[in-house]
Structure 1
Amino acid sequence: MKRIAILAAATALSACSTGGDKPKAPEAPLHSRMLVLDTHLDTPLHFERKGWNFADRHDLATDLSQLDIPRMKDGNLDGGFFAIYTDQGPLTPAGYAAALDHARKRSDLIDRTIATHKDAIGPALTADDARRLNKEGKLIAFKSIENSYPLGEDLSLLDEFYKKGVRLAGPVHSKDNQFADSATGEGHWKGLSPLGKQWVAEMNRLGIVIDASHSSDATFDQILALSKYPILLSHSSLRSANDHPRNLDEGRLKALAAKGGAMCISTIFLSDMKMSPERAELFGKYETIGTLSPAEQADLTRRWRELDKTETMWAADFEKYMAMVLRAIEIGGVDHICFGADWDGGGGLTGIEDISALPKVTERLKAAGYSDADIEKMWSGNILRVLSAQGKGR
């Protein structure tokens, strides 16, 4: 074998010296050649942590974050939508005011963080921005709103957040609010409220993509009927994989596809969520991790990982996830599937624990027979198509 290798090397050198063609460099892996986006990144909750830096590599054993700039590069996640998440509070003027203050600060925090790391990542408003940044070798930062509760009853605030760069927003989170019923709410409005119907119209007018994740079935149906433009589900799973109201049923996935929208597949609710009292306590601290000292952050991580050894939050793994992904593609078609795993917001499963695992998804899609072009549609093309379709009448 050694002699063969020497002869091969000599032949290559001879070709070079006589003007022959140089050997071609090996082609980069498929996943790294694609534009890869995720529609729901909860990482902004880490941006305000003391001692935490978005540009540093963090280890899951010692830090709860699932995404940072080095691991984005490991998993070839080129970017996505960084969420302005606001917890649901009372539907009162005081509740709305506190929520609005939080949302404005979170939006500004995202902007400051991206600006701090401007050599690595840049803000995006349009599909063309995403493509430009990708060509420049930079990561891509869109902004989204998870839960429109901070708007109170003032829809003019949507324009403020549009000007701040928001290009994707959902009406509701885990409880019914002034706009709509939640998938896990009580069904107060039987779908959208009268104000929620106006919210849909204003979203369309501004050109902000509507995100129907967390919406009840009735809310989803009414959004789909009212919206002039295709919508996204930024982080949802399939109900046939686990019968939970937070997940989308196959009939509604077909209806979404028929209207040109796309469902971005999540890793959450592939099983019931095991929220024991101890996990609930830790989750409550996690959602306000930016207020904790470095020592308190380390203690939270230690307790979380200890609990993981005896009580996992999800009874699902990468194999179950991929089975659900493949079923969703079968039902919705390659033009109507995308990805939003809910990183840093409760997502992640055994075998797909953080953003660095994304190439495994591409490998499975390729093994299942999907073309390179179809796989790239699902990683970014469908998202950018829906984004580009907004606001044609502005």
Structure 2
Amino acid sequence: MPLRPTHPLAAAALLAVSATASAGAKEGIVPPTVMAIHDRLLTLDTHLDTPASLANEGWSIEEEHDVDADFTQVDLPRMKKGGLDGGFWAIYTPQGPLDSASLEKATNFAIMRGVVIREMIAADPANFVLATRAGDAARIAAEGKRIVYMSMENAYPLGDDVSLVQTFHDMGVRLIGFAHFANNQFADSATDPAGGHWGGLSPLGIQLLAEMNRLGIVPDASHSSDKTFDDLLRLSKAPIILSHSGCKAIYDHPRNIDDDRLRALAAKGGVIQINSFGSYLRAAAPNPERQKAMRALFASMREEGMTKAQRDTLIAQRREIDRLYPDTGRPSFDDFMKHLLHALEVVGPDHVGIGLDWDGGGGVAGMEDVARIPRITKALLDAGYKEEDIAKIWSGNILRVLAANEAMVMPAR
């Protein structure tokens, strides 16, 4: 996502998601033959920001929501409609100052966000099951339940003591991204306005990587700088991933990866999971009035937490912006597919997956919420990929990487 506020991430998703789902629904219809194939696949998305919605007063994962109505993109009914078996549910913490008080606050925030995920599972064990090992996914899907792996986007809340990662591992976290929009104590970000600070991983970041390798936690290089990516790839004892990224050859954005690094990632067994966040797919036409209005709305969302009344007000304000200054140049499903097909052309179906950034600003015209993901399966079939290749893309590759990281776990002493 571009800018995120300092309160739960669902508010930033409200900024990014466009209210154009009605037209996209018709475009996203797939024939029954394709849906039958899609339903046979084990489907995982490696970047679900939906835990931010879970934290909103009056919002339920059990109820079907409408992206046109409240801008959310994932809930249980829509997961069932779209045939999404589950994925990695993110603990996202906005980047803040590095003083001790701010770090303590971030740690507490991240722990509570993890608790929200665990509460979702505990409240509905008939539909949601925590997964902590690669082998759990197939079993849970076979039971007709949704798979909940846990991840951490931005290692900032780990503070300055890497042993804290054990706490999150015990909670269920199996994937951690080192940085977000700004440099932090562990690594350089791809998008810090000041540029790099550490020249890649910091000394503390190297310690964190070693601890993650010891625990079998997958290192995630999305949002990190190219030099951080290089350090992770060079130093990690197990394969790394990009949980929600794109291809620089299609759109030259700092959040995207170039082909040489993509090949290096594949050579070490890693995987790029292609995202659907519009700002990373292609350049947007200037729309200064809309951007000014969005900045003003963004400025109103800087308090921690959000009541239902506050969210209703923000939704109304967002709808008015859409009415006054329509987002006519929104990236499309075809723009997303250009990145996916390019990555497949460069490194093949053994090293590419799906991480759409749902509820974190992902979604494109023609694929506005999780109910529309069968369109990806259809597009891959149309491009000539076989069902066994698509099975790797949807889950096989990330599960292989997770298993490889598990294999690195040192025996208990």
Give me the TM-score of the superposition, normalised by structure 1.
Answer: 0.90
Q: CA deviation at 1:324?
A: 1.8
Structure 2: how far apart are the matches of 1:60 and 1:279? 18
Are positions 1:161 and 2:172 aligned together? no
The answer for the alignment partner of 2:136 in structure 1 is 129
Separation in 1, partners of 2:310, 2:274: 33
CA contact (8 A) 1:191 1:218 kept: yes
Tell me which residue corresponds to 1:294: 308
In the TM superposition, 1:226-375 aligns within 5 A as: 226-268=235-277, 269-272=280-283, 276-283=291-298, 291-309=305-323, 310-312=325-327, 315-375=330-390
Distance 1:365-1:283 versus aligned 2 partners, 3 A rule: farther
Report deviation, 1:285.
5.7
1:53 alignment partner in structure 2? 60
Change (3 A) 1:282 1:32: farther
Structure showing greater Rg: 1
Contact 1:86/1:147, CA 8 A, preserved across alignment: yes
Task: Quote how far apart the aligned CAs of 1:276 are.
Answer: 1.8
Q: CA deviation at 1:302?
A: 2.6
Question: Aligned partners of 1:233, 1:313: CA distance in 2, in Å?
Answer: 30
Shift of 1:296: 2.4
Q: In structure 1, how many angstroms separate the alpha carbons of the residues matched to 2:80 and 2:381?
A: 21
Closer/same/farther in 2, CA of residues 286 and 321 from structure 1, 3 Å limit: farther
- Cα distance change, pair 240–26 in 1 and its aligned pair in 2 (3 A): closer
Residue 292 of structure 1 aligns to which amino acid in structure 2? M
Deviations 1:314-334 (A, max 9, x none): 741111111221111001210
Report the Cα offset of residue 27 of structure 1.
Answer: 9.5
| Change beyond 3 A, Cα 1:26–1:321 | closer
**Equivalent of 1:179 in 180, 186, 190:** 186
Q: CA deviation at 1:95?
A: 1.3
Measured against aligned partners, the alpha-carbon deviations of 1:285-337 in whole angstroms (never above 9, x if no partner) come to 6686x833323222222322333353439741111111221111001210000
CA distance in 2, matches of 1:389, 1:88: 30
Residue in 2 aligned with 1:224?
233
For residues 34-67 of structure 1, the C-alpha deviation after alignment (integer angstroms, 9 at most, x for no partner) is 1000000000111121111100000112112100
Identify the residue that residue 82 of structure 2 maps to in structure 1. Answer: 75
Distance 1:356 1:365, change over 3 A: same
Q: Deviations over 1:95-116 (max 9, x none)?
A: 1111001011111111001211
> Percent of aligned positions with the same letter in both sequences?
48
Kindly indicate whether structure 1 or structure 2 has the higher relative contact order, using CA contacts under 8 Å at least 6 residues apart: 2
2: distance between equivalents of 1:242 and 1:108? 37
- The letter of the residue matching 1:70 is P
> How far off is 1:118 after superposition?
1.3
1:71-98 alpha-carbon deviations (Å, 9 max, x no partner): 0011101000110000001011111111
- TM-align CA RMSD: 1.9
Q: CA deviation at 1:150?
A: 0.6
**Residues 34 and 378 of structure 2 are in contact (CA less than 8 Å); yes or no, is this contact kept in structure 1?**
no
Look up the SS of the partner of 2:362 in the other structure. Answer: coil
For residues 133-162 of structure 1, give each alpha carbon's deviation from its aligned partner in whole angstroms, at most 9, with x where no partner exists.
011110100100000101111011011110
- Assess if the C-alpha contact under 8 Å between 1:270 and 1:314 holds in 2: no
Which is further off, 136-145 or 264-273? Answer: 264-273
Task: Find out whether 1:383 has 2:398 as its counterpart.
Answer: yes
More deviation in 25-34 or 302-311?
A: 25-34
How far did residue 277 of structure 1 move?
A: 3.3
> Could you tell me how far 1:26 is from its partner in structure 2?
8.5
Residues 278-287 or 253-262, more deviating: 278-287
Q: Is the 2:35–2:374 contact (alpha carbons within 8 Å) kept by the matching residues of 1?
A: no
Q: 1:284 to 1:74 in 2, by over 3 A?
A: farther
- TM-score, normalised to structure 2, is 0.86
Is 1:215 paired with 2:224?
Answer: yes
SS of aligned partner of 2:244: strand
Q: Which amino acid aligns with 2:199?
A: K
Name 1:170's counterpart in structure 2: 177
Gaps in structure 2 of 5+ consecutive residues: 1-31
